[in-house]
Chain A
Amino acid sequence: MTETAKAAPFSPDEAFRPPRNQWWDVWDQFKYHRGALAGLAVFVAIIVFVTIGPLIWQVDPGAINIRSRNQGMSMTYPLGTDQLGRDMLARLMYGGRISVAVGLVAMFLGLVIGTLIGVVAGYFKVFDSPLMRLTDLFLALPLLPLLLILVALFRDPLETMFGQAMGVFSLIVFAIAITSWMQTARIVRGDVLALKEREFVLAARSIGTPSLRINTRHVLPNVLSPIMVSATLGIATAIITESALSFLGLGFPPDFPTWGRILYDGRDWIEQYPSRVVWPGVLISLTVLSVNYIGDGLRDALDPRIRGR
Chain B
Amino acid sequence: MLSYTLRRLAFAVPTVLIISLIVFLMLDMAPGDPTGSLPLTIPLEVREQIRQSLGLGEPVFVRYFKWLQMTVITEPLHILAGLTGWDIAPGGPRILSWQTRSPVGDILVQRVPQTLWVVGLGYLFGILIALPIGVISAYRQYSWFDQVGTFVSMVGFSVPTFFTGIVFILLFSVTLGWFPSMYDTTHVVRDWNSFLFQAKQIAMPVAVLALYNASQISRFMRASMLDNLNQDYVRTARSKGMGEQTVVLVHVLRNSMIPVVTVIAIGIPTVFTGAIITEQIFRVNGLGDALIRAIYVSDWPMVQTITFIFAILIVLFNLIADVLYGILDPRIRYD
Residue from the list B27, B154, B163 in contact with A284, Cβ < 8 A: B163
User: Which residue, B23, B154, B273, B280, has most C-beta atoms of chain A within 10 A?
Assistant: B154
How many residues belonging to A are interface residues under a CB distance threshold of 8 Å?
41
A166 within 8 A of B: no
Inside 8 A of A305's CB, which chain B residues have their CB?
230
A144 within 8 A of B: yes
A140 touches B26 (CB 8 A): no
A277 touches B158 (CB 8 A): no
Inside 8 A of A271's CB, which chain B residues have their CB?
170, 174
A133 within 8 A of B: yes
A306 touches B230 (CB 8 A): yes
Q: How far is the CA of A149 from the CA of B166 in the complex (A)?
A: 29
Inside 8 A of B26's CB, which chain A residues have their CB?
145-146, 149
Residue from the list A133, A137, A244 in contact with B160, Cβ < 8 A: A244
A289 touches B15 (CB 8 A): no
Would you give the shortest CB distance from B109 to chain A, in whole angstroms?
20
| Given A142-B291, A285-B155, residue A240 in contact with residue B160 (CB < 8 A) | yes
A61 within 8 A of B: no
Inside 8 A of B32's CB, which chain A residues have their CB?
148, 152
Q: How far is the CA of A139 from the CA of B150 in the complex (A)?
A: 28
Measured as residues with beta carbon below 8 angstroms from the partner, the interface class of chain B is: 35 or more
Q: Label chain B's interface by main secondary structure.
A: helix
| Closest chain B residue, CB of each to CB of A287 | B158
B162 touches A263 (CB 8 A): yes
A137 touches B22 (CB 8 A): yes
B162 touches A140 (CB 8 A): no
B267-281 contact mask (Cβ, 8 Å, vs A): 1 or 0: 000000100110010
Q: How far is the CA of A120 from the CA of B269 in the complex (A)?
A: 28
| Closest chain B residue, CB of each to CB of A155 | B31
B300-335 contact mask (Cβ, 8 Å, vs A): 1 or 0: 000100010011001100100000000000000000
A125-160 contact mask (Cβ, 8 Å, vs B): 1 or 0: 000000001001101111011101100110000000
Would you give the shortest CB distance from B71 to chain A, in whole angstroms?
15
Inside 8 A of A289's CB, which chain B residues have their CB?
154-155, 158-159
B135-172 contact mask (Cβ, 8 Å, vs A): 1 or 0: 00000000000010011001101111011001100100
Q: Which residues of B contact A (CB under 8 A)?
A: 15, 18-19, 22-23, 26-27, 29-32, 147, 150-151, 154-155, 157-160, 162-163, 166-167, 170, 174, 223, 226, 230, 232, 273, 276-277, 280, 291-292, 295, 303, 307, 310-311, 314-315, 318
Q: Which residues of A contact B (CB under 8 A)?
A: 8-10, 35, 133, 136-137, 139-142, 144-146, 148-149, 152-153, 236, 240, 243-244, 247-248, 250, 263, 267, 270-271, 277, 281, 284-285, 288-289, 292-293, 296, 299, 305-306
11 more A-B residue pairs beyond the given contacts A136-B318, A284-B159, with a C-beta to C-beta distance below 8 A: A35-B151, A142-B303, A142-B307, A144-B292, A149-B29, A152-B32, A244-B162, A277-B166, A281-B159, A288-B159, A289-B154
Q: Offer 28 A-B interface pairs, CB within 8 angstroms, sorted by A.
A: A10-B230, A136-B15, A137-B22, A139-B318, A141-B22, A141-B311, A142-B23, A142-B303, A144-B276, A144-B291, A144-B292, A144-B295, A145-B30, A149-B29, A152-B29, A244-B162, A247-B162, A248-B277, A263-B163, A277-B166, A281-B159, A281-B163, A288-B159, A288-B160, A289-B159, A293-B154, A299-B223, A306-B230
